[in-house]
Structure 1
């Protein structure tokens, strides 16, 4: 009897390391979280200036980028816990009752309305061309060497090549971040932990967000 394929077989990600997503086809990706600007709240002159700067930023890129908006149901469990704590510690009976009524209102409102959180993301790609020597030629010039020596040399070459590719990708990421900041947007590359949490949420759409990404809080506070 055939076993059911695991979820991992349908995910294109091979690994996440050094803040870089490594795909199964060896492609590399970094993901930048970006703050938003509500253009409806600024003057027409400021809006036109922002759009002009954004157009200049896009025209300056000589590599493809992907822009995403990730919307998820907002998790208010921690917020409700804080309200419970306030209610528990409140000694004034009138205030205690008001806190209770407010808590019930929030619960009812969330049950009847989908409260969504949005994240604005930019995906920066780099698809490396391997410079690793082909095994046949490599074996010919290293005839007589121990297998362990050959493996160590191949691993060293692979690691050096990976670091070169990572630097190329990070150069692109820095260019994107600088360009977005010139528009007046705050942009930060996600680290390993944040990437893992982000993809967990991507691949578990039936669940609400476990919690806000810490970096999202920073982005909102400084935007």
Structure 2
């Protein structure tokens, strides 16, 4: 029994050591697990950093990214070159006639020609219709140049007429001839001026549209090559041009039977076609002729962001509605003022008499009481006479209406 406390103390010490050892082991295990987790997270951060760098590089638009968006490499030799010369496209512009205005024989001829056109197709084609706003800016510039020339001629004819008329040696025949020449040049000048004015007014209408029709022919020079044949890029391009030109000419000949005139687009016209396709909203402002004259050697897109367009449209709608509301309020205020003016005009006699009575009462000490009473009596007599006249007029009107009925 004496040794029992010592034994318990020894057992307790042993348990305490064991517990401390187990705790130490657990702490070491947790430290090792933590270190491993940190090592695993470091490569993930590096991968995220690489991904962020990639996204930044994508946002930096390069020449290659623009070409990927455009889906073509270049425009050369009246062809659209795609996929590094492995596929080329040639485009034919078609100008047809009005089928509804043709006679029955002409309609049969056009239909038979179209049937011949379909039967002659031995290769795939694409029909493309492009809607454009009717731009007559170049015509207006030419008209204005002619107008300036006519204005100079008109001033010259006017000067010659004045000189002839003031010259005492001029005969009546010479004066008459100079006057006729002046009238002729003046009429031509005024007519040209009216034409330009009407043309400019028509050009302001943004809803004047026209449709252009095209046939696109695609050819891949690698289709007809065997595995043994090898060509460089220039040879493949020449082969594609020869084949596309032959196909385009055969289509143009067959289209003539349909009363459709065809024409192969050159490189500049192809650039304009693609430029309009990629710039649907702003191609009028930055026309292809302006781009080429400005030495731009690559096409670019100028269409604004869709959200900016919505904000602009909403701002315009808000401005229009605010202006309309302001006009309505102004009209309402004007109508109220006009009603007040009308009421004053209708009751002018009563207002004048009331104002007269007030003035007489205010000046009673100056004019005297007797004069005030007499003036008031005269004023009341005038009011009574005016009432009687009104009643008589109303009676006459009612009697006239009764007799007319």
TM-score normalised to structure 1 length: 0.72
Give, in whole Å, the separation in 2 of the partners of 1:202 and 1:34: 17
Q: Is residue 48 of structure 1 aligned with residue 108 of structure 2?
A: yes
Match of 1:178 among 232, 253, 267: 253
Cα 1:97–1:122 shift into 2, 3 Å: same
Counterpart for residue 342 of structure 2? none
1:124 deviates by: 0.9
1:179 deviates by: 1.3
Larger CA deviation: 188-197 vs 104-113: 104-113
TM-score normalised to structure 2 length: 0.42
1:117 deviates by: 3.3
Secondary structure at the counterpart of residue 123 of structure 2: coil
1:38 deviates by: 0.6
Counterpart for residue 13 of structure 1? 72
Cα 1:161–1:113 shift into 2, 3 Å: closer
Counterpart for residue 299 of structure 2? none
- Within-5 A mapping of 1:79-98: 79-89=139-149, 90=151, 91=154, 95-98=188-191
- Within-5 A mapping of 1:147-158: 157-158=232-233
Structure with a larger share of its residues in helix: 2
Counterpart for residue 29 of structure 1? 89
- On the 8 A contact 1:65/1:125 being kept in 2, the answer is yes
Counterpart for residue 112 of structure 1? 205
- On the 8 A contact 1:34/1:187 being kept in 2, the answer is yes
Consecutive unaligned residues in structure 2, runs of 5 or more: 1-55, 155-184, 290-405
Counterpart for residue 265 of structure 2? 190
Counterpart for residue 279 of structure 2? 204
What does the per-residue CA deviation read over 1:152-171, in whole Å, with 9 as the maximum and x for residues that have no partner?
Answer: xx7x6443344333323223
Match of 1:3 among 52, 57, 60: 60
Cα 1:188–1:38 shift into 2, 3 Å: same
Q: How many residues align?
A: 191
1:114 deviates by: 2.4
